[in-house]
Structure formats: structure tokens, C-alpha cells
Amino acid sequence: MKTTRSMRWAGEMRGWRRSWLAILTSALAVSLPLSLAQITGVTRAAADIAPTNSVPQLIPKPVSMTVGQGNFTLASTANIVVPSGSSAAMPVAQDLAAYLRPATGYSLPVVTGSPASGDIELIVGDPGTLQGDPDGEGYQLNTTTTGVTLEAITPHGLYNGIQTIRQLLPAWITSSSVQPGPWTMPVVQITDFPRYTYRGLMLDIARHFEPPSAVEQLIDQAAAYKINTLHLHLSDDQGFRIVINGFPNLTTIGGQGSVGTGGRTMDPGGFWTQADYQAVVADATAHFMTVVPEVDSPGHNNAIIMSEYNDTTNTLLNGHPQDINCSANNPPMWDYTQDVGYSAMCPSSTNTWAIYTAIVDQLAALSPGPYYDIGGDEVPTTLLSQSQYASFVNQEAGIVQGQGKTVMGWADIAGSGTNLASPSVAEYWNPASGTATGTVTGTEAVQKGMKVVMAPASHAYLDQKYRHNVPSTLGLTWACGIKGCDVDKFYNWDPGSFVTGVTDANVIGVEGTIFGETTVTLSDVDYMVFPRLLALAEISWSPKATRTSTSSPAYTDFIGRLAAQGARLMANGVNFYPSTEVSWGLSLAAPDLTASSQDQVSGAVATLAAPGFASTAVTVTITWGDGTSGTGTATGTAATGTTLNSLYTVQGTHTYAKPGTYQATVTVSASGATSVTAHFTVTAP
Ligand code: TNX
């Protein structure tokens, strides 16, 4: 059976008023204590009169940010400094250096001692500003024209802070190849910490297999937005993806296929060795991300049933493993479609428990995080009665707790008869809100004292289409209907009041889920995940705001900041959907050039990020610094299907009349976007 899822100062001030106010504001900026300037959260202390500094386009939005005058410029001579005796900051200092070296090309040595002018200092200590921080994930970041100081109570806090440093730098800092810079950051003071402890991304490698390398890329992409949990859906009806010692069939048989797409009955499968899993966990840990393993039960496990149904010689089973099968089909059969709700394992079978005990014990041992997820979704009462279902959940919960882990599962596990309580976690996935019928799993969880992760499908399911038939080849429609779920749906809701009775007293966080029925490659996954994950990252990190309509100031502000993230994602090689809700910003990187011996420039002068724009939709003007100017062209690969357009190469041709050093500029404009200009020096020999 298939379950139904159903002003800035407004206008420009007159010149005289502006300069009069500028004098007053700069006087105030000097004399005002920081705390006063911070009262309104994000403020622009004197920034309106310092045209070099606009408000940094950060996601998630920090708790408090004061923008000052002037910039810090990261120079090739900079060090990343950790105070002597503060080894706790060292790994994160190394992370920062590793993030900044490729695009800057600087050596950025990580040293201990005292910072000199131009250095970035990382301190594990108490900056005294993080009282509201729930778990030591916050940080205090101060940049001046001469240095950067990042201080946090824990290394995790520092790690969150270095993600902010990256976003304060130009978009090209995310590039893996050397870019021209200059690497300036505005003078700011940021006090920041998360609203919620759990900020997750769930990836389904069961419906379509993904190799560890793809998952590691996704980890890096998500960590940049302070996501701290990777929930791995390791098994479902169509595939079982991790080796379990003692049950080789689980992967040799259970891992052989994936959901069929594009007219195929079955796509290729695959599985991870335990060493693969450990490497992914280690990579996640290095990104301060916790892995939550999930092997779904007692339903969504046709792959397990198909693997073990005939495993009569396995000494860990009793010779009659057919009794594990409580599915709609007996004997069971493969179904590589998107069907759900037809499989279940029988709670009364000792073989069921031999299999699940091995799975839980081994995955718990391989996973350092606090949670083990038992799944628990979508088992129709035609397969297991509610009491059979509850007895299954209770028995497996005992195994999980016996391994020292906290039970997590889809909120179905809060149903009648299960004896779960705090700190067990129910993940709320129903799209229903308020007091609608479907919200019962949320209120049941609260009645049991369970903690709740909010993932309402209509606002957090990254596998749903953006718009009607967009994209045409990826995504499902059950949660978002024909209209789809674009960025606004992901942003305009509040986790602490979505379900009546499920409040911030219960909610520990938010999770975006990318179920894998239609997504085959990492590129597919990225296209569905980005940019919507950024909305969830902000909802789960930033302070509560009024996010209830597409015209709310919070949404308008978010969309503006999101526009600036496009170039950042592109430079980082992240595929994403260029939502039409966003006026994506253009970004240019123009290195200095040396002309040919004939004083000629011909070919590439800049790289352009223009998300969602055809190369023919941009206009390029180049002033060559010798009193002449001309047009240029943008070349590259156009967007196709679910692949964003490439970064474009901006080309120009010019011959200088005589040798010299010329200060040139390249300007790109496109309809609906703010023009961008980059400066470069041409040496004509
Ligand atoms: C519901 S949400 C499911 C998954 C599907 C997903 C598709 C939940 C707990 N179960 O089995 O893959 O919808 O969007």
C-alpha cells in the first residue's frame, strides 16, 4: 500500500542631510559603547557613511553583529595564531588555514604565541559574551583594520566562527584554485550562538547508493552553514548499504540495487564497508558533525528480508529465517519502485532480533555520537498491529539503550504502547501543522516527554520539487503538492510553534531530509539540497524571528543574503537550483595580466559567477586603462536540466599603443542584477 502524504533609510537621503548625519553618526560611533550599538541586533554603526562597508551577507544570520568602519586585509604574510598553551584551538586553526590557502595561495602558517599586526588569532577561552549559548557552540569574532580575534569556549564554537570568517571574505575564498583577491573583511564585532542544539541533514543512501566520497563532499558543503548533524538513512526497502559482520547477505544481496529511475527497473546499488563508514564518521567529526546512523525498522526493510529470508545456513539464525517476514508479500519479492509501507519484520521472530541486534550493536560501536535511529515510520496496521509495532519499538529501544545510545526515530515511534521518554528523540515529519490530525505524533511525543526534531515535510523535505514540475526530472510532490516548495516554504515557519503543544521546551532542533528515490548523483542531491538547506540552517541557528509570509522583513532580508551565497556556492563547485525567488548576485574575479610582447591582451581577463544567467544575458565592458574601452564576452557552459550554468570566463581583446602598466577594469551587468566591477593591472612589456 502507498501511504498518502499528502531601508535601509527608505529612499536615498538628500545629500546635505546625509553628510550632516554622517558627522553626527561618526561622532556617536566613536563614543558609543558597543553594547548600546548592539541593542537592535544587526546594526550599522556608522556604516552608512563608510561606503566601503555594507552589511556582510551572512547565513545563518548571527545573533548580534556591529559593522564598523574600514577593512581588515588578509595579506600573504599573515599567520594564524594560537596562544601558547592553548592546544585546543590548534586543530581549528589548521582547519582555517586549510580553508584559506587554496584560494589565497598564501602559506598562512599556524603558529603559537602572540599575534602580530595582520594576524588572525584563535582562542579557546571565555569571551564573556556567550551567556545565551546552550552548548558551547557560540563564538565572539572581532575584526579590526589590523587583526582578527576569534574566541570561543569550545573548539566547536571556534569552528563555527571560522565558517563566519570564510563568509566575511569575498565569495572566491571558496575556490580550490588561486584567485586574485584582495582578501578583505569588514571591521565587525559578532557575538553568535545557535538557537537549537540539533541542526541536521538527513541523507538517504538506501534508495540510491552514494559513495563515501560524495557524502564527504556534502559534509563539507553543509558544515559551511553550521549544520552539525548528518543523519544517514542506511537501509530501506530497495537497499541495505553497510557491511554487518555475521550477515554478509545483507550487503551482497541487499546492496545490489537502487530505485529504478529514467525508465529502468533498477539502478546500480553498492554498499560501504565498515572502514568506509568509519572514514565518513571521522570526516564528519573533523567537521564537528555528529553522525546519526539509521537502519529503518520494523518496516521499510524489504532489502533485509530479501537478504535473510533464505539464509538457512547462517549459524546466527535458527535455520528457519522465513519467519522474519511480516510483509504484504510472502514469499517476499524485490520492488525497486518508490512504493512504501509494504514490508515489515516480525517482532515475534528470534531471527529478526538476531539480525537487528547485530546491526544495532555494530553501528552503535562505530558511531561516537549520542544517537541511534531505529526508523519506525510507515508500518500499516495491516502488517503489524499497533501493539506488535510498539513491542518491536520497545524491544529495539532496549538494545539501543544497552549500547549506551539515545533512541531516535521518526515520530511514529511516539505512538501508543511505546515506552519511550526523555531523552529519546522523535523526528516530526508530517506536513500537518497547528492542531490538524497529522500532528498527533508530535503531541504524543511531547506527552511522553520525548525530545523533538522538527522536519515537517512541507517545510523541510529537500526531496520535494521546488515548483510545478521543477525540476522535471527530480523530486517528489506528496508533501508540497502541485505548487512545490521553494525557498520561501523552507524559510517561513517556526519550529517552536509549528505544531500546537510542541514548543521550544521540547524541540531540540531542525532537520532537512533528502530522501533518495529520484536523486542518483551528488549533483542531483546538491540541486535539491541547495539553496533550501540554507533556510533551514538559519531557522535552526538564528534567533526566532517573524517568518510567516513572503513579505516579512525577515524573509526579504534572508533572500537578499541568499543572493550573495550563489557565487560562493558556485566557486566551491556546489550545484544548486537558482531559485527565481532570489535575485542572484554577480561576482567577478580578475587577476592581474601581462600582455604579449606585441602589447596585446587576448582571451581570459576574469572569471564570472552569474548563477541562473545565460552567458549571452550578461554585458561585459572593459576599460583598458589607456583611455579606451570596449566590450567583452562571457563564455562557458549553459545550464542544462538540473545542472547550474558553469562559472563563465570573461574574454577581452586589446592592443596597447605603447608599453606601460595600466589600471584596467571589467564591469559585468545583467538585467535584474547589480553590476559588478573588478580592477586589474595589465603590464604591457
Ligand atoms: C516519506 S518521511 C518517508 C520516506 C520517503 C519519503 C519521500 C518518512 C519517515 N518516510 O520513506 O522516502 O517520504 O519523500
Please give all residues whose beta carbon lies within 6 A of any atom in ligand 1, as ranges: 5, 340, 377-378, 410, 429, 461, 463, 476, 515, 517
322 Cα–ligand 1 center, Å: 27
211 Cα–ligand 1 center, Å: 21
pLDDT (0 to 100) of residue 20: 32
- Mean pLDDT, 10 residues at a time, over the chain (685 residues)? 32 28 33 32 35 81 96 98 93 98 98 98 96 93 98 98 98 97 96 98 98 98 98 98 98 98 96 98 98 98 98 98 98 97 97 98 98 97 98 98 98 98 97 97 98 98 98 97 96 98 98 98 98 98 94 96 97 97 97 96 97 97 98 97 98 97 98 95 97
Cell readout for 439 is 500532528
Is-contact 619 669, C-beta < 8 A?
A: yes
Ligand 1 pocket check: which of 202, 378, 525 to mutate, most ligand atoms within 8 Å of Cβ? 378
Query: Edge-to-edge strands of the sheet including 587-589?
Result: 587-589, 600-609, 648-655, 629-635, 618-623, 660-670, 673-684, 593-594
Is-contact 255 209, C-beta < 8 A?
A: yes
Residue 440: closest CA among 448, 394, 1, 196: 448
3-state secondary structure (DSSP) of residue 67: strand
d(CA 330, CA 324) in angstroms, rounded, equals 11
d(CA 308, CA 355) in angstroms, rounded, equals 9
Nearest alpha carbon, ligand 1 atom 2: 429
Atom of ligand 1 nearest to the CA of 464: 14
pLDDT (0 to 100) of residue 86: 81
Residue 258: closest CA among 522, 527, 476, 520: 520
Nearest alpha carbon, ligand 1 atom 10: 377
Atom of ligand 1 nearest to the CA of 204: 12
**Which ranges of 530-619 does DSSP label H, i.e. alpha helix?**
532-541, 553-571
577 Cα–ligand 1 center, Å: 22
Nearest alpha carbon, ligand 1 atom 13: 515
Neighbours of 671 (CB within 10 A): 8
End-to-end CA distance of the chain: 75
Is-contact 214 276, C-beta < 8 A?
A: no
> Which stretch of DSSP H or E encloses residue 394?
helix 386-402
pLDDT (0 to 100) of residue 582: 97
Cell readout for 48 is 552608512
Cell readout for 301 is 526493510
CA geometry: angle at 672 spanning 557 and 636, to 5°?
Answer: 110
pLDDT (0 to 100) of residue 53: 65
Q: Is 641 exposed, middle or buried (0-12, 13-18, 19+ CB in 10 A)?
A: exposed
Atom of ligand 1 nearest to the CA of 207: 12
Rg from Cα positions in the chain: 27
Is-contact 221 282, C-beta < 8 A?
A: no
Atom of ligand 1 nearest to the CA of 412: 9
pLDDT (0 to 100) of residue 181: 87
Ligand 1 pocket check: which of 202, 377, 474 to mutate, most ligand atoms within 8 Å of Cβ? 377
Query: Edge-to-edge strands of the sheet including 148-152?
Result: 42-43, 64-74, 183-192, 139-143, 148-152, 120-124, 80-82, 110-112
Cell readout for 575 is 550545484
CA geometry: angle at 226 spanning 441 and 611, to 5°?
Answer: 105
Confidence (pTM): 0.92
110 Cα–ligand 1 center, Å: 45
**Which ranges of 404-499 does DSSP label H, i.e. alpha helix?**
440-447, 457-460, 487-491
289 Cα–ligand 1 center, Å: 23
Residue 587: closest CA among 183, 224, 173, 171: 171
How far, in whole angstroms, is CA 109 from its chain's centroid? 29
- Express each pLDDT in 336-377 by its tens digit: 999 999 999 999 999 999 999 999 999 999 999 999 999 999
d(CA 463, CA 528) in angstroms, rounded, equals 6
57 Cα–ligand 1 center, Å: 34
Nearest alpha carbon, ligand 1 atom 6: 515
- Express each pLDDT in 252-286 by its tens digit: 999 999 999 999 999 999 999 999 999 999 999 99
Is-contact 204 524, C-beta < 8 A?
A: no
Torsion angle, alpha carbons of 279, 284, 287, 288, to 10 = -130
Torsion angle, alpha carbons of 81, 83, 89, 91, to 10 = 50
Is-contact 307 247, C-beta < 8 A?
A: yes
Cell readout for 347 is 517482532
3-state secondary structure (DSSP) of residue 649: strand
377 Cα–ligand 1 center, Å: 8
312 Cα–ligand 1 center, Å: 32
d(CA 250, CA 240) in angstroms, rounded, equals 6
β-strands 507-514, 198-204 pairing: parallel
Q: In sequence order, which residues have a C-beta less than 8 Å from that of residue 93 and are 6 or more positions away?
A: 80, 81, 82, 110, 122
CA dist 478 → 294, 430, 483, 555 (Å): 23, 11, 11, 25
CA dist 45 → 33, 188, 193, 541, 588 (Å): 11, 10, 21, 24, 28
427 Cα–ligand 1 center, Å: 12
3-state secondary structure (DSSP) of residue 23: helix
